[in-house]
Homo-oligomer: A and B are copies of this chain.
Amino acid sequence: MPNSARPRWPAAAELPDGHVATGLLLQMAHRAAHDRLAAELKPLGMDIRHFGILQFLARGGLTQRQLIDLVGVDKSTLVRIIDQLEEQGLAVRTRDPHDRRAFQVTVTERGRERLAAANAVAADLGDHLFGWLGAGDRRRLHELLQRIIQQAHERG
């Protein structure tokens, strides 16, 4: 597993001045949360990249094309991801009756079980990471993050 010893960047936290510090903290917080989730999902046999895909699939079967639009990966990349999910028996491809070029990708029963276990782990971790936030702080944090995302997509 690559990157098990992770850059802790501002090693003891000598943050730069100004807004760069905000960006760096954003990166550090994301990475810390991401790595922690990946580590906790691993013993369940759940890859963190598969986790996101399965979330979408759990709401209803989708074609690979639809998944590509949701997730944004290249189609050839998605082929391999779905291959892996099929190998693990977590999802299956079935021909779309309306468009016989396309496959419907569906979560299997086994996939649902594993996803449920992963969701439980993710919920526990979420409680640990974010549960201390008061309702107001949580709402405010979401607002701020969404505004940042919006700003990043706007020219200026």
Residues of A within 8 A of B (CB): 5-9, 11, 16, 18-23, 25-37, 52, 55, 69-74, 122-123, 125-133, 137-138, 140-142, 144-149, 151-153, 156
Q: Is the CB of B156 within 8 A of A23?
A: no
Chain A contact surface mostly? helix
Most interface-central of A70, A73, A126, A151 (chain B CB within 10 A): A151
A22 with B126, Cβ < 8 A, contacts A6-B72, A27-B30 known = yes
Inter-chain contact B32/A30, CB cutoff 8 Å: no
User: What residues of B have a CB within 8 angstroms of the CB of A25 in the complex?
Assistant: 141-142, 145-146, 149
Q: Other CB < 8 Å A-B pairs besides A18-B123, A129-B152, A130-B148, 8 of them?
A: A5-B74, A6-B72, A7-B71, A8-B72, A18-B126, A23-B126, A25-B141, A27-B34
Q: Closest residue of chain B to A13, judged by CB?
A: B146
Instruction: Report chain B residues within 8 Å CB of A148.
Output: 29, 32-33, 129-130
**CB pairs A–B below 8 angstroms (13 shown):** A9-B52, A22-B126, A22-B142, A23-B129, A23-B130, A25-B142, A25-B146, A29-B30, A32-B149, A128-B151, A129-B148, A137-B144, A141-B141
